[in-house]
A and B are shown apart, each in its own frame.
Chain A
Amino acid sequence: MKILVPLKRVADPDNANKVKISPDGKKVTSEGLEWKLNPFDEYAVEAALRITENKTNNARLGEVVVVCLGPADAKQQVTQALAMGADRGILIDAADETLDATVVVDTLEKVVAEEKPDLVLAGKQVVDGDSNQVAQMLAVRLGWPQATFAAHLSLPKELNKALVTREVDGGVAKLEVTFPAVISVDLRIVAPDAVKNGNTPDSEKYPEGPRYPSLRGIMQAKKKPLAAKKLADYGVTPAPRLEYLKFEPPPQRKAGAKVPDVETLVAKLKNEARVI
């Protein structure tokens, strides 16, 4: 069983309010902010590892390959995934600004043709672009079934299909997809019992959240294969379908006033804001 996890680096999402816009409005810059692995992609790596291991004896049941389109220093985020436990990395040189979903999908299609994974396990969205398109478009391109926004995954021992629990408007939807398939993960996929792989006993619980790389993991990551590629190696010439004209800051809300007590609050809500 082989899983391909596509991942992107993003400016520290916990400080997204500190990104700056260039004076001409043409660029978003994140000077002074750390680069981080896109959180949903970190969750996808965690889920891929949970699918491909027997937690009781640490046996590996499959291979996890991570692939990133990004500049050379995104090597750090690829290495982080390797340190978490992924087996192999591919870093495809591309400038962040030239990437829209089409360019990513054009490239991932070729990577899939080469790697022949059973499953592409992506994040549901990158938290800089917030587009939420790549997994769905890739599924069409590959002719594979999709299950987006996975909050829970349950696989049989053979790891050849998945019962996917999806958080959707109005409830929880369940889909069974037979591999090869594309699945995108949501926040809850890193809950302690969110992934069942039919090999680890169902009673086994993981710690909440994605795993931290261990010291041993970090040492091993340095020796794991990490291929440096170019878009041209996959025959891709970037042909984005979108053109970003300019960027601007959103209208700022002005902070209001503190009120001393509940009575004043209610009086203001009634007489000033007129909302009750």
Chain B
Amino acid sequence: MANVLVIAELFEGKVRKGSLSAITFAQQAAPMVGGGYDILVAGTGAKAAAASMTGYGAESVLVADLPDYVAEVYAPVVAGAGKGYKIVCATATTFGKDLMPQVAEHLKAGMASDVVKVVQEGGPTYVRPMYAGNVLAHVKVKTPIQVVTVRQTEFEAAAPGGGASPVKDAPAAPATAAAARVKVAGFEKVVSARPELTDARVIVSGGRGLKSGENFKIIEALADLLHGAVGATRAAVDAGFAPNDLQVGQTGKIVAPQLYIAVGLSGALQHLAGMKGSKVIVAINKDPEAPIFSVADYGLVADLFQAVPALTEQIKKVL
């Protein structure tokens, strides 16, 4: 009997890789509430995308083919499908953050946001960061249905394990009346040849120290050499040096690559909140007192305009 429902998110007709983290969470949480898990693929082109989810150990894959995303249409469907489960979960992408509190409210359920760990203590206890990651809270959800979003970087992407879950239609549910007062007015996709920040093995991030958007080329060259992604601080984004979807931090993307190279950024705690989980951190800053050095495995006190091009050249030699 499946007691956990995973919401798989679609982007351009494909399940987002981030959703695989919610599956891993479900694999850990399902035994704590006695049972297995189902996956609900909800979105435009869900019927076609469902096949990609049948090899992940779910008891069933549910399908809800829906128009363009608005919470007022999706939340009733997800809540309707979620009724019989003990836990309804998704990854804390902007989709998950927008949708799941609505789902929780439809189900009169409590919700734990951005969970990083689940432990068995007479049912699941959720561990979640607060205060920009400076406190970890252990929280119980007291309602019969528990809604959870999980932090992608803390749950490894589930690997397909064979098997063939049967595909079924999710029950239909009417949109809320509010749907009549909301209209999708467009989507501007950010196109980049680089990997997504949340998937990248290497990230090179720049801050205000770069001084201009033009200068970001220095860190782009290093990122490209390492097949990595480019990140930025809020200050760099606000100054127009980098597009906003590159912001790393408490209110940007939470990342945890193998290697994070922080260039010309001070390491404000809101920035650290988004990258402290990286495996190896390198900091390049001309101020030896910059807080970024307190989390860096390797710190180089230097002028970035010399150090970064030199670093790129030196890496070319050893690659």
The interface of chain A, by Cβ under 8 A from chain B, is 11, 13-14, 16-17, 19, 21, 28, 100-102, 105, 124-125, 127-137, 139-141, 143-149, 151, 163, 166-178, 181, 186-188, 191, 208, 240-250, 253, 255-259, 261-263, 265-266, 268-270, 273, 275-276
Contacts and interface: CB of A to CB of B under 8 A. Distances in A.
B131 A19 contact: yes
Contact of A255 (B138, B293, B300): B293
Given A171-B189, A258-B300, A176 B269 contact: no
A171 B188 contact: yes
B307 interface: yes
A269 to B, nearest CB: 7
Contacts of A127: 131-132, 250
Contacts of B130: 28, 128-130, 247
B169 interface: no
A265 B300 contact: yes
Given A258-B301, A269-B298, A241 B178 contact: no
B200 interface: no
Interface string B187-199: 1111000000000
Interface stretch (B81-89, B107-115, B157-165, B209-217): B107-115
User: From DSSP, what is the main secondary structure of chain A's interface residues?
Assistant: mixed
Interface string B292-309: 011111111110000100
Given A16-B131, A144-B178, A163-B185, 13 more contacts: A19-B134, A133-B101, A136-B102, A149-B98, A172-B190, A181-B182, A241-B142, A248-B136, A253-B281, A259-B300, A261-B300, A262-B300, A275-B258
Given A17-B134, A265-B300, A175 B101 contact: no
B184 interface: yes
Interface of B, secondary structure class, is mixed
B282 interface: yes
6 contacts: A128-B130, A176-B182, A176-B185, A249-B134, A256-B281, A263-B314
Interface of B: 11, 16, 18, 70-72, 75, 93-95, 97-102, 104-106, 109-114, 121, 125, 128-143, 176-179, 181-190, 202, 226, 234, 238, 244-245, 250-251, 258-259, 268-270, 276, 279-282, 288, 293-302, 307, 310-311, 314-315, 317-319
A145 B97 CA distance: 16
A137 B143 CA distance: 15
Contact of A140 (B75, B259, B288): B75
- Give the one of B138, B143, B189, B319 with max A CB within 10 A: B138
A17 B131 CA distance: 8
Contact of B187 (A174, A244, A247): A174
A167 B238 CA distance: 13
A24 B288 CA distance: 37
B226 A265 contact: no
Given A258-B300, A259-B298, A133 B94 contact: no
A273 B282 CA distance: 11
B90 to A, nearest CB: 13
Contacts of A137: 101-102, 104-105
- Of the listed residues B11, B109, B311, B319, the one surrounded by the most CB atoms of chain A closer than 10 A to its CB is B311
Contacts of B129: 130, 250
A208 B318 contact: no
A255 B142 contact: no
Contact of A269 (B132, B189, B276, B282): B282
